[in-house]
Structure 1
Amino acid sequence: MRRSKTFAYESAIEATESDLKMYTSAVSNGRKKVTEGDDMQSKRRKCGKRREYAASHRLKNIVIGKFKMRAWYSSPYPDEYSRLATLHLCEFCLRCTGCMPTCRSHLLKCDLRHPPGREIYRRDNLSVFEVDGKLSVSYSQNVCLLAKLFLDHKTLYYDVEPFLFYVLTVNDNSGCHFVGYFSREKYNPLKYSLSCVMTLPCYQTRGYGRFLVDFNEPFVHFPIFLFLSNHSHVLG
């Protein structure tokens, strides 16, 4: 039987300068990746904390008239207002204020008791006002900011001049109270009629949303015939 050869182990091989450079480079790259991973984790934690902070400091409620409603989404109100837990709105001009006393003080001085446009429909205690975004910029922007609290997809806030706003109100002795609205582009070659429609949550399930959608239909087919009759006070 053949015996296997026995090899004598030689002494340890010394690393060359090239080997040392490769080793040093590999260690350096490994440390860099570990550091980058730590930085990424740190950034994710900071981003998560910012989201939590934004969510905890997001506007949660609005008070308009006698109603208090929970905001469904965020809206780009100025920072001093968007960080408040509750925002108080004038029920006529929709201007925002930070507290109830300020809102009441504003109401005493507010010039509006109905939307700043022409009344094109009236029946019983309901009215619809046509508001030109170019002529009533501030009011139209306030409408859009309010609507964004309840419409996730809404993107129009400040560029209101190309639009007409049709505001539905419920009326009493104190004035015309905002219920909801829809908007239309003034000049649209594609004939898109309805740009946006919204009813405040406190007035939902009463048929007002359906009313606004139906009210828009004559604009599509007979826009020239929309006016308020001097005799019947309804569309004619």
Structure 2
Amino acid sequence: MAEESESEDGNYGSLDYRNVSRLQLGTYEFDTWFGNPVLFTHNEPEFLGFKQLQKAVKVTTSNKKYLEFNEAKKIWIPKLYFCPNCFKYTDIQDEMDIHIQCCTYRKKLPGKIMYHDGEVSIRKVKGSKHKLFCQCMCILAKFFLGNKSVFFNLDFYDFYIIYKKLNGVPTPMGFYSRELLSWEANNLSCILVIPCYQKQQLGTKLIDFSYHLSNYEQIISGPERPLSPFGKISYLSFWSKALVRAFIYGNLSTYRHITLEIISRKTGFRTEDIILALDYMEVLFESGEKNTLLDYYSWNSKSDDGFVYLEDDNYKIYISKVKLKKWLVEKQVSSETSLNPSRLILY
């Protein structure tokens, strides 16, 4: 079984092909999406790294075998077995079967509960305190996040893990990480819902929680850039639905003139993310340059309630509430958010 390991360089792990074909997580089995060399012995592509610590494999300084596998894009291991509770891993099924039966994480969950609504819960787990758990979770995530590069040096990361009961056992189904020393004050570094647990709105709940936490901390924030293709899709959907709710049902519904700064304060979103979402929904329009000799508010060519005027220094810009309502209907956006704010337990 995997044991705790440290690396001087936590910023590596690039491989341009899938070196492990499939993963088994409890009773679920599924394909990997990306390669992951970091859990293997150096220069020995067929041996997991923890076996080197157990002295089960002899270390070699020659990279001949590694280059041979890499050039031919050979599979290093056909299948890896991960514990669905603590994410320890092995390539031997019998070892995993024995471990799962006695895994302490089946009953004793790590970290502190931050949200619980009877169906799902979100727990805050410090990378500095639960090192092995977080390392193994990040190693699993690398198989599904092509741009993930931090696996071992996790002291300055917090992890927010979403749990849901599976056969009566609280099971970690996804997580997001947050860098504690982020120069850009990002509220999320990377996010993953494990493939076998997707299609349950768990990613939306995690993103929603990240903004509730930022709101509690009284900061305007957002995810770390660049976003992965799947991350961009998830965030555009989340931002768009949140803005539609705010303009149609919520605290932006009475505005006729508005600024990006007001929208940002009301939603907690960065202004660049607001523009991305409005453009994504195709509800943002401009109608020529402003005439600096005229009062901006006297422009009445769109004077009915179907428009909200977005103040800009150079252009006449407006948001179509008609298109917002149409988008809301087409996407079947509920007036309720994915999380119940009354169930938050923030510090």
TM-score bracket, shorter-length normalisation: 0.5 to 0.7
Q: Distance in 2 between matches of 1:189 and 1:115?
A: 31
Moved more, 134-143 or 179-188: 179-188
Q: Determine if the alignment matches structure 1 residue 93 to structure 2 residue 54.
A: no
Contact 1:169-1:177 within 8 A present in 2 as well: yes
Deviation at 1:133, TM superposition (A): 0.3
What per-residue deviation string (whole Å, max 9, x for no partner) do you get for residues 57-103 of structure 1?
A: x1111111121111000122124248321100111110001122110
SS in 1 for 2:137: helix
Paired with 2:113 and 2:169, the residues of 1 have a C-alpha distance of 13
Give the Cα separation in 2 of the matches to 1:233 and 1:81.
45
Q: Give the aligned partner of residue 127 of structure 2.
A: 133
CA shift, 1:234, in A, is 2.0
How far does the alpha carbon of each residue in 1:102-129 deviate from its partner, in whole angstroms, 9 at most, with x for none? 1011123321125411122112231111
- Select the residue among 39, 58, 77 that pairs with 1:77: 39
Task: Kindly indicate whether the alpha-carbon contact (under 8 Å) linking 1:120 and 1:235 is maintained by their aligned counterparts in 2.
Answer: yes
Residue 104 of structure 2 is matched in structure 1 by 111
* Matched residue SS, 1:127: strand
Letter in 2 for 1:77: L
Asked whether the equivalents of residues 121 and 233 of structure 1 are also in contact (C-alpha less than 8 Å), the reply is no
The answer to whether the 8 A contact 2:88-2:136 is kept is yes
Q: Is the 8 A contact 1:121 1:128 kept in 2?
A: yes
* Alignment map for 1:84-233 (pairs within 5 Å): 84-113=77-106, 115-172=109-166, 174-223=168-217
Match of 1:10 in 2: none
Task: Output the CA distance in 1 between the equivalents of 2:166 and 2:27.
Answer: 13
- Asked if 2 retains the 8 angstrom alpha-carbon contact of 1:117 and 1:132, the reply is yes
Q: Structure 1 residues 115, 74: closer, same or farther in 2, change over 3 A? A: farther
Change over 3 Å in CA distance of 1:55–1:195 after alignment to 2 = closer
1:144-167 deviation line (CA, Å, top 9, x unaligned)? 111110000111111111000001
CA contact (8 A) 1:115 1:167 kept: no
Aligned residue pairs, count: 175
2:342, 2:204 → 1: CA distance? Answer: 21
Structure 1 counterpart of 2:343, which letter? V
| Structure exhibiting the larger radius of gyration computed from Cα positions | 1
Gaps of 5+ in 1: 1-53, 225-231
Partner of 2:287: none
Counterpart for residue 343 of structure 2:
234
User: Aligned residue for 1:67?
Assistant: 28
Secondary structure at the counterpart of residue 112 of structure 1: helix
Q: Which has the higher helix share?
A: 1
How does the TM-score come out when normalised to structure 1? 0.68
Structure 1 residue 202, shift from structure 2 partner = 1.3
Runs of 4+ in 1 over 4 A off after TM superposition: none
TM-score by length of 2: 0.47
Partner Cα distance (2:182, 2:169) in 1: 33
Q: Identity over the aligned pairs, expressed in percent? A: 24
Q: Name the CA shift for 1:123/1:74 in 2 (closer, same or farther; >3 Å).
A: same
Amino acid at match of 1:102: E
Q: Which of 120-129 and 58-67 deviates more? A: 120-129
> Distance between the aligned counterparts of 2:207 and 2:99, measured in 1?
33
Q: Alpha-carbon deviation of 1:206?
A: 2.1
Q: Work out the CA distance in 1 between the residues paired with 2:113 and 2:24.
A: 26
Cα RMSD of the aligned pairs, angstroms, is 2.3
Asked if 2 retains the 8 angstrom alpha-carbon contact of 1:125 and 1:172, the reply is no
| Alpha carbons 1:93, 1:115 under 8 Å: kept | no
Shift of 1:173: 5.6
Q: Which residue number corresponds to residue 7 of structure 1?
A: none
Letter in 1 for 2:40: P
Aligned 8 A contact 1:63 1:86 in 2: yes
CA distance in structure 2 between the partners assigned to 1:115 and 1:143 by the alignment: 14
Distance 2:150 2:140 in 1: 11
Contact 2:115 2:344 (8 Å CA) reproduced: yes
Query: Letter of the aligned partner of 1:60 in structure 2?
Result: S
